[in-house]
Amino acid sequence: MELAKEIYQITGKFPQSEKFGLTNQIRRASVSIPSNIAEGQGRNSAKEFRQFLSISLGSLAELETQLILSKEINLLTTEELNPLLFTLDRIRKMVKSLSRVITP
């Protein structure tokens, strides 16, 4: 959830013209990550939990792509992008590790 909060702060600086475009997509992907982890944890089976973790990983990849695009079109600087990519990589590793230890 910390990442989502940070994403909201950063995208708040994006131009108004991006409000319903990239800003909205980035925010939705960032919220989807913890939301799917939480929903999966609340399910009745390990299989369902792993499925929601997989969806969360998809949202991570989507967010990564959108952030790189934001840098490419000069909405983000390298100094803003790199810490976000580091955080995404750290979260990706944690989600994958969690998925591996969930027993069926």
pLDDT of residue 104: 67
- The structure tokens 């409000």 sit at 19
Cα distance between residue 72 and residue 54, in whole Å: 27
Number of domains in the chain: 1
Residue 55, domain extent = 2-101
Query: CATH number of the domain that 56 lies in?
Result: 1.20.1440.60
Cα distance between residue 49 and residue 36, in whole Å: 9
- pTM of the prediction? 0.93
Encode the chain (104 residues) as per-residue pLDDT tens digits: 999 999 999 999 999 998 889 999 999 999 999 999 999 999 989 999 999 999 999 999 999 999 999 999 999 999 999 999 999 999 999 999 999 999 76
Q: What is the pLDDT of residues 72-99, one digit of tens each?
A: 999 999 999 999 999 999 999 999 999 9
